[in-house]
């Protein structure tokens, strides 16, 4: 399996690892088939993602996808953060092996879930933010 240098770099030196206390929004998603679990914490001020942290339990591609995605949304508006699709994450990483593309999808889903959590906590509707689908959650 070939990983790009950028994937390896994010895996070896992941950015924004950890958690945010009293986070504005927290999104946790998992993929039962591969066992990857991603948790993203957002600190939102106004409509800007001031800070973002993640904890990922999974393979190198999952860690790299989370790391790249958090870098891509940090300092951005909620609307811009919503534009960070799994395709954008894969492009940023310079590509992922086909078998690992689901990792980038998880990163996108985790961001969406965290924004949903934020909207619920604040009783607001954010255009484009939808609740996590049932199949995103696999808590046995």
How far is the C-alpha of 12 from the C-alpha of 138, rounded, in Å?
27
Q: Which residues are catalytic?
A: 34, 103
Q: What is the DSSP string of the chain?
A: ----HHHHHHHHS-SSBS--TT-SEEEEEEETTTTEEEEEEEEEETTEEEEEEEEEES-HHHHHHHHHHHHHHTT-BHHHHHT--HHHHHHHTT---GGGHHHHHHHHHHHHHHHHHHHHHTT---TT--PPPGGG----
């Amino acid at each position: 399996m070939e990983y790009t240098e950028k994937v390896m770099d994010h895996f070896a030196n992941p950015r924004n690892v950890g958690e945010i206390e009293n986070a504005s929004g927290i999104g946790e998603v998992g993929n039962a088939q591969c066992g990857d679990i991603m948790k993203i914490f957002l600190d939102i001020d106004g409509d800007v993602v001031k800070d973002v942290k993640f904890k990922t339990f999974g393979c190198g591609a999952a860690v790299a996808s989370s790391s790249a995605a958090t870098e891509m949304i940090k300092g951005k508006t909620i609307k811009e953060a919503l534009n960070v699709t799994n395709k954008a994450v894969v492009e940023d990483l310079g590509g992922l092996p086909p078998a690992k593309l689901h990792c980038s999808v998880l990163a996108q889903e985790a961001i969406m879930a965290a924004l949903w959590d934020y909207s619920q906590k604040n009783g607001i509707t954010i255009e484009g933010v939808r609740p996590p689908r049932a199949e995103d959650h696999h808590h046995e």
